[in-house]
Structure 1
Amino acid sequence: MKKLIIAALTLLPSLVMAAGPSVALDKANYDLRDQASLQNGAKLFMNYCAGCHNTQYQRYNRVAEDLGIPEDIMQANLNFTGAPIGELMRSAIPEKDAANWFGAPPPDLTLVARVRGADWLYTYLRSFYKDDSRPFGVNNLVFPSVGMPHVLEPLQGSARLETVTRMVDGHEVDTPVGIKADGNGEMAADEYDHAVLDIVNFLVYSGEPIKLERQRLGYWVLGFLAIFFVFAYLLKKEYWRDVH
């Protein structure tokens, strides 16, 4: 519990300024019961995100067991640091170097879905656009002045910000209305959206791996309480029968 609190406090300073302008968030229709989605999300996350970001409150063997991935496949294809299967999932990038390159160490993402929400993550990962004024040549509609590169650009391709011109107080103002990919990525637009949803699904799982089990046990507890209530009510009637 102490480590989870520390992780949340670590994330908050990095994300508190991420609200950005008033951007409508797209609905992330993730499904924690979709094992194929979780496996693909884990694969994409480890290949494109884990080079910089930790999920250091997860362990390789726990993820492998929960997602139905054989441990040998996990070690061979999703563990790029050579850590033992029982180790925490840390990135290979030294924190000091990351701070020098990006201005601050990339935040741990174990709890990011719980801190920001699945809809925010889903919209954020689909809102990068080309901006030559930024250090990495991209900006983000949800998180303006973002300090990270668009690591999924090979999949999505280059994207540009679409705007409309409106009159505000007698002046023409360009207002952002969305992002348009140029179609030069490895995936079509709908394929990229699905890939992002898989990553979000994996991060939602990472934030609370026991969520489905907790919900399952909750139904049993409610059922027990309902049955207990019946017996308690009958006992009460029997106990007070002679009193009344």
Structure 2
Amino acid sequence: MKKLIVMLFALLPSLAMAAGPSVPLDKAGNDLTDKASLQRGAQTFMNYCFGCHATQYQRYERVATDLGIPAALMKEHMIFDPEAKIGDLMVNAIPTEYAAASFGAPAPDLTMVARVRGSDWLYTYLRSFYADPSRPFGVNNVVFPSVGMPHVLEELQGVPTKVYETRLIDGEEVQEYVGIKSDGTGELNDDEYDEAVRDLVNFLEYSAEPMKLERQRLGYWVMGFIVVFFVLTLLLKKEYWRDVH
């Protein structure tokens, strides 16, 4: 028993780190049935994320088919490697050693990131970058402090900064963090940027489980079969025991 208690105390620091910062997460509100959103998210991913992050467990052709993108358009606008074929895995060209030297660690594959982190975490994370001159890339992140990647969507959002409000707590003025605000130099306004991030996260949720909608649809059929089978079993049981008093 004493050994168990000691082990639990030893694990507390690692558990605290795994929990991450206590930042309220915004709801992504994804809709995997929205093909237009998924197509826009795929385009954003390929243009802004794919240079460093691969989704090596899915293929261009499968993505094009699932998202309703003609193969010709997929090849023209979303396959940047001239030697890649439509049936190839979606592997980027950045060498692992170069990525590790540039960012401190190899850029992780994002095929399953939505299942690992959760869609709400991704949605909040991508909207929580802020300017921080002390960091190597000039940005930090509220959800992921000391983040090791640049704000690749800054072109769309503009330069984001932390916003604070002065509040009285126990008679003292305290600066309290209330959110992120862009300087307005991006291509999109705040609402448009949030929508672009939602589309991107929607695509990453699809990537993590392309069969999710089909699995849910089959689940309804299975539950319906179980209900019908249960009713038939109940009627059969009554028929067998009808003459037993």
Q: So what's the TM-score if we normalise by structure 1?
A: 0.88
Equivalent runs, 1:202-213 vs 2, <5 Å = 202-213=203-214
Distance 2:117 2:40 in 1: 22
Gaps of 5+ in 2: 1-15
The list of structure 1 runs, each at least 4 consecutive aligned residues, that deviate by more than 3 angstroms after superposition, is: 16-20, 164-175
Which residue in 1 is equivalent to 2:80? 80
In structure 2, what residue type is equivalent to 1:116?
R
Q: Shift of residue 149 of structure 1?
A: 0.3
In structure 2, what residue type is equivalent to 1:226?
V
User: Is the contact between residue 20 and residue 141 of structure 1 (CA under 8 Å) also seen in structure 2?
Assistant: no
Equivalent runs, 1:135-150 vs 2, <5 Å = 135-150=136-151
Q: Shift of residue 177 of structure 1?
A: 2.1
Computed over aligned residues only, the root mean square deviation of the Cα atoms, in angstroms, reads 2.0
In structure 1, what residue type is equivalent to 2:192?
E
Which residue in 1 is equivalent to 2:35? 35
List per-residue Cα deviations over 1:34-77 (Å, max 9, x = no partner).
00000000000010001000111111111011000111111111
Gaps of 5+ in 1: 1-15
Question: Structure 1 residues 222 and 236, CA, compared in 2 at 3 Å: closer, same or farther?
Answer: same
Distance 1:170 1:22 in 2: 25
- Percent identity (aligned): 69
Larger radius of gyration, structure 1 or 2?
Answer: 2
Q: Shift of residue 145 of structure 1?
A: 0.6
Is 1:230 aligned to residue 231 of structure 2? yes
User: Is the contact between residue 18 and residue 143 of structure 1 (CA under 8 Å) also seen in structure 2?
Assistant: no
Distance 1:168 1:112 in 2: 39
User: Is the contact between residue 161 and residue 179 of structure 1 (CA under 8 Å) also seen in structure 2?
Assistant: yes
Distance 2:18 2:42 in 1: 24
Is 1:122 aligned to residue 120 of structure 2? no
Which residue in 2 is equivalent to 1:241? 242
Which residue in 1 is equivalent to 2:13? none
The alignment partner of 2:22 has SS state of coil
Distance 2:120 2:88 in 1: 30
Q: So what's the TM-score if we normalise by structure 2?
A: 0.88
The alignment partner of 1:64 has SS state of helix
